[in-house]
Copies of this chain bind each other. A is one copy, B any other.
Amino acid sequence: MRKRPLILVTNDDGITAPGIRTLISVMNEIGDVVVVAPDSPQSGMGHAVTIDDTLYCKKITIDKGPQEEYQSSGTPADCVKLAVSEILGRRPDLCVSGINHGSNSSINVIYSGTMSAAVEAGVEGIPAIGFSLLDYSWNADFEPLKEYIEKITRNVLENGLPDGVVLNVNFPKSTTFEGIKVCRQARANWVEEFDKRTNPQGKVYYWLTGEFTNMDKGEDTDEWALAHNYISLVPVQFDLTAHYFIQKLNNWNL
């Protein structure tokens, strides 16, 4: 790619989160950056879109970088839609989302606002990558991630991605890494435990908690890679059809 690519940056932790500020600084080295991100945290929003409410979006300045920035009242998926349709005037060459404060590996991909932005971009035909760090701390150290983010991003710009595929990149909580490992999504889930409480008015309410359970012993999974200090890279598709099961279904008595 000769001329500088146009890069859309978004996230789900909100536009002031240290994770997205790091991602913006890396992207400024690679292309012309426009940021369209939520004005408040949107973690756990999955692929939510705002259809029954109004959306606000305004230009703001957060630091002295060359990027252009907009904050929106919408979800991460809304931000991508707004950017493409109202702000950029053309399809960007790349969309990056993150760096998420917390894991989006294995089954977390389906709950992830970070990945929903990447998937939304993919649906619209834009090459896209979601980046996440396995550290929920607001003050996590994102510095060691920068060189890997740049390397993966330049690979995507150079090689492209097939239609219908985006990348899900997760970093272990570490300062040095064994390298980047291409993986499949581990078969894992959350075993919920609700914390049941009573409010001052006597009304019962719950907090969602739970324990992450990896049932997958494979050494080709993202969970294995992360547990062994590798950066995991999973190609993610949004054709959810379980093609292998179609023939069997055709034998049902329907």
Binding site for B on A (CB under 8 A): 41, 43-52, 54-58, 77-78, 81-82, 84-86, 107, 109-111, 116, 119, 123-124, 151-152, 155, 159, 162, 164-165, 179-180, 182-185, 187, 189, 192-194, 196, 199, 203-208, 233-243, 245-246, 249-250, 252-254
Contact = CB atoms under 8 A, between A and B. Distances in A.
Contacts of A165: 242, 245
A57 B111 contact: no
B194 A82 contact: yes
B155 A252 contact: yes
* A interface majority secondary structure: mixed
Contacts of A162: 242, 245
Contact of A54 (B57, B77, B81, B205): B205
Contact of A110 (B240, B246, B253): B240
B239 A184 contact: yes
A243 B155 CA distance: 19
17 contacts: A44-B52, A46-B46, A46-B116, A51-B208, A57-B204, A57-B206, A81-B194, A85-B192, A85-B193, A86-B194, A164-B187, A179-B254, A182-B254, A234-B241, A235-B241, A235-B245, A235-B249
A180 B46 contact: no
How many of these chains are in the complex?
A: 2
Nearest to A189: B123
A117 to B, nearest CB: 11
B48 A45 contact: yes
Shortest 3 CB-CB distances between A and B: which pairs?
A46-B47, A46-B46, A237-B242
